[in-house]
């Protein structure tokens, strides 16, 4: 067995911002985030306030929050990283995700918001218990949330360590640990009230910053024609319709798989769909989808432009590759944009990571303190006690996610797709189908969640854990059973397996199954 690393494996050549403008932007944003957290703490008096802001959010705030929790560190660090490494393959994520917002709004927005009115639901597991009237479904939903939260939170912490290094010049390890501590304090203070308003602030900043980065990146690379010519000379597949991930044939499969995962899979992301509980009323849902979709598309220009232009300049010999793929975004912003733009982008990224991670921590902690105990018949009856236990659970999840980053050498973008895949497989069948199909049954839901978790854990989480522990041979043996190229996203396979299990299981067990009476009207709207 190999020795475990004594420092994070994500190390490399991130330049340090010694510009006082950039440092001032970063410090000011952290200060604002702390103030918002303290303000949220003063307005948080119940578990409902902590988890869903007491249903007080309007159209623009809801749309911007929905967009920003999906983008976050994955889009700003993982996006340029994947584009730099594999060319146009990851663009199938960024050009597909806006469609995911539209699908999610159409199939779930009204139903989830109405459900929050007719029943006392605060979490996704609450909603699934109402729909299926099964403690097994509630408990498995809570378990799946916890597993997915750890993977997705790790994505944001992996991005956070690079941003803290870039702005403040601290070692990567202290960027990870210090950033995780700030995140934990912020989340324990403000809950979702603080997270929503930080989301709104950083969403506006990301949109403005993305436009500037796109312009500077295109100029830096000599325009799209020059970028394309340099990439074609090095490897034509880098600029082809499907990119270079895994070779020509594999890249086609990966692109299609990501198209499925990030369009349909968006409706299975609990940090997105539980946002519908927060809306002030039904009418404000109308324009949320196009606002969120357009905002995401604009912000994705950072991944597209920075990743391709940096790779083109390296291939042309204009710059030296002194950085890892994970560092492409921060390196470009620090070295090739003006101080004000760099400070704006990096500060917005700090806020994005903080607010998105806050959303993950809140839904994960609620699963630990509310969903799983209720599924086991041991609910916490006192609301204030439940709130405090929820806050305490934040610490455990933060430590676990920090450990994943510390010991894993996976790319930020890959960690992001793994977390997305966990959620999509577990929740698209039971939520999307379940809230739109009266024939869905609890047996089908149980099969779907178990099947989705099984595929993701066996072919994603377990091989990564074995690699870290020195069990390379075991990891290779497990992946030998995977029927697709290794680069083919496991999350897509798990999603399709879960859908088949859900539909098949429901069809076989429909006899005697009854939909709760008050849900008939909801599902007919």
Q: 522 CB contacts (<8 Å, ≥6 apart)? A: 111, 114, 115, 118
Band the pLDDT of 49: cuts 50, 70, 90: low
Q: Residue 284 carries which DSSP code? A: G
Average of per-residue pLDDT values in the chain? 81
Hey, how many other C-beta atoms are within 10 angstroms of the C-beta on 18?
9
Please say if the pLDDT value at position 50 is more than 60: no
List, in sequence order, the alpha helices (H) in 20-87: 20-43, 47-52, 59-73, 79-86
Q: What was the pLDDT predicted at 17?
A: 63
Phi and psi of 90, rounded to 5°? -65, -15
User: pLDDT, tens digit, for every residue of 347-383?
Assistant: 777 777 776 777 778 888 888 888 898 898 888 777 6
Distance, in Å, from the CA atom of 298 to the CA atom of 214, rounded to the nearest integer, reads: 9
Band the pLDDT of 412: cuts 50, 70, 90: low
User: pLDDT, tens digit, for every residue of 103-141?
Assistant: 998 888 888 888 888 887 888 898 999 999 999 999 999
Mean pLDDT of 388-392: 78
Contact, 226 vs 63, CB < 8 A? no
Q: Which of 70-74, 485-489, 506-510 has the highest mean pLDDT?
A: 506-510
User: pLDDT, tens digit, for every residue of 212-242?
Assistant: 888 999 999 999 999 999 999 988 888 888 8
Share of the chain above pLDDT 90, in %: 18
Q: What was the pLDDT predicted at 74?
A: 67
Contact, 354 vs 186, CB < 8 A? yes
- Which residue carries 């849900």 as its tokens? 519
pTM of whole model > 0.85?
A: no
Structure tokens at 81: 């990283």
User: pLDDT, tens digit, for every residue of 295-314?
Assistant: 888 888 888 888 899 999 99
Distances (CA, A) of 229 to 238, 248, 307, 313, 437: 11, 19, 15, 11, 50
Structure tokens at 314: 């390296």
Distance, in Å, from the CA atom of 437 to the CA atom of 439, rounded to the nearest integer, reads: 5
Q: Which residue has the higher pLDDT, 441 or 19?
A: 441
Q: What was the pLDDT predicted at 10?
A: 45
To 10 degrees, the CA torsion angle through 510, 512, 518, 524? 40
Q: What was the pLDDT predicted at 426?
A: 92
Contact, 443 vs 505, CB < 8 A? yes
Q: Which residue has the higher pLDDT, 29 or 331?
A: 331
Distance, in Å, from the CA atom of 427 to the CA atom of 434, rounded to the nearest integer, reads: 10
Please say if the pLDDT value at position 2 is more than 70: no
Q: What was the pLDDT predicted at 117?
A: 80
Distance, in Å, from the CA atom of 427 to the CA atom of 13, rounded to the nearest integer, reads: 39
Domain 23-523, CATH homologous superfamily name and number: Sodium/glucose cotransporter (1.20.1730.10)
Please say if the pLDDT value at position 45 is more than 60: no
């Amino acid at each position: 067995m190999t020795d475990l690393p004594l420092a994070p494996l994500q190390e490399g050549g991130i330049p340090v911002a010694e510009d006082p403008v950039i440092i001032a932007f970063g410090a000011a944003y952290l200060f604002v985030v702390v103030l918002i957290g303290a303000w949220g703490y003063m307005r948080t008096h119940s578990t409902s306030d902590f988890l869903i802001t007491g249903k007080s959010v309007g159209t623009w705030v809801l749309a911007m929050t929905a967009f920003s929790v999906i983008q976050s560190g994955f889009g700003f660090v993982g996006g340029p990283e994947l584009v730099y490494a594999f060319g146009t393959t990851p663009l199938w994520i960024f050009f597909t995700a806006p469609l995911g917002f539209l699908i999610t709004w159409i199939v779930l927005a009204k139903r989830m918001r109405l459900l929050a009115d007719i029943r006392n639901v605060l979490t996704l597991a609450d909603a699934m218990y109402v729909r299926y009237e099964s403690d097994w479904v509630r408990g498995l939903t809570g378990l799946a949330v916890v597993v997915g939260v750890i993977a997705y939170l790790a994505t944001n912490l992996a991005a956070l360590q690079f941003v803290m290094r870039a702005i403040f010049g601290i070692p990567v390890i202290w960027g990870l640990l210090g950033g995780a501590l700030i995140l934990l304090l912020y989340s324990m203070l403000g809950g979702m009230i603080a997270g929503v308003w930080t989301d709104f602030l950083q969403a506006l900043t990301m949109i403005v910053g993305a436009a500037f980065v796109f312009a500077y990146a295109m100029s830096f690379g000599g325009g799209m024609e020059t970028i394309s010519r340099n990439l074609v000379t090095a490897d034509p597949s880098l600029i082809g319709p499907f990119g270079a991930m895994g070779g020509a044939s594999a890249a086609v499969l990966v692109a299609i798989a990501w198209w499925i995962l990030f369009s349909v899979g968006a409706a299975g992301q609990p940090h997105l769909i539980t946002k519908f509980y927060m809306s002030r009323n039904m009418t404000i849902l109308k324009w949320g989808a196009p606002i969120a979709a357009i905002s995401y598309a604009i912000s994705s220009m950072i991944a597209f432009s920075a990743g391709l232009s940096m790779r083109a300049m390296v291939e042309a010999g204009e710059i030296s590759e002194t950085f890892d793929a994970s560092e492409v975004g921060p390196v470009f912003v620090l070295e090739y944009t003006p101080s004000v733009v760099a400070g704006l982008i990096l500060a917005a990224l700090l806020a994005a990571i903080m607010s998105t991670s806050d959303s993950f921590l809140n839904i994960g902690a609620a699963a630990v303190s509310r969903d799983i105990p209720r599924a086991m018949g041991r609910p916490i009856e006192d609301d204030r006690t439940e709130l405090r236990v929820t806050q305490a659970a934040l610490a455990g999840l933060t430590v676990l996610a920090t450990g994943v980053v510390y010991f894993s050498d996976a790319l930020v973008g890959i960690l992001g797709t793994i977390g997305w895949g966990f959620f999509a497989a577990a929740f698209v069948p039971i939520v999307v189908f379940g809230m739109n199909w009266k024939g869905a049954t609890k047996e089908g839901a149980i099969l779907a969640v178990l099947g989705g978790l099984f595929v993701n854990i066996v072919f994603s989480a377990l091989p990564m854990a074995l690699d870290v522990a020195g069990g390379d041979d075991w990891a290779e043996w497990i992946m030998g059973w995977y029927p697709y190229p290794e680069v083919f996203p496991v999350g897509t396979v798990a999603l399709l397996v879960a859908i088949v299990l859900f539909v098949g299981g429901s069809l076989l067990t429909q006899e005697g199954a009854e939909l709760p009476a008050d849900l008939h009207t909801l599902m007919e709207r």
